[in-house]
Chains A and B, each alone.
Chain A
């Protein structure tokens, strides 16, 4: 069964792939290592997990104003996520998505954290503002 949720495209584009869901907010500075594309915050549930090539679904950004710069660096290192789905948008995550230059959705009609599980196949259509969640593959 597939589910489609309406949202708003934050960065235009279209991508599909495997979801990586974080139920905790993510830090840029002190939270991720851009060189490897992994979460490095010790107390984070995704500690040590790599988000490169995944559709990163998370509730929002926290921490330093360096957030966008760290995610921009993942693009420069080639370790960026494939797309982003952001629960609550802020200046940090909006600018971060823009400079990571990956299709991004937010302001969805349903909380994406309730709908998407890690491993689900998801389609991020940021041009039309649609998130489609399929079965795990």
Chain B
């Protein structure tokens, strides 16, 4: 598999309430291992996946949020968050556990247009 494609993962769901965020992260890590061009997008409730300070002990589930910090080690550095999604939730980039690029909605739309494969879970 020598061809490199642009893979975008669009995360629009909050973590913990459903398993989508966790299983999406599992695909992201595998995709990076295939040397593809990977971007992650966090939109709507998906931005909650990146909220600092998640403590899941009380709900007896695995806290997978530290894994977002490990993405850099897999050469996944393109993390995008939509500005209005953050603002609508009273959050700013400082509330997030990783460094992200905050995009205006039109910039986000343009970025989506440029992808080869868009995966959403």
**Is B a genuine binding partner of A?**
no
| Residues of B that sit less than 8 Å from A by CB | none
A residues contacting B by CB (< 8 A) are none
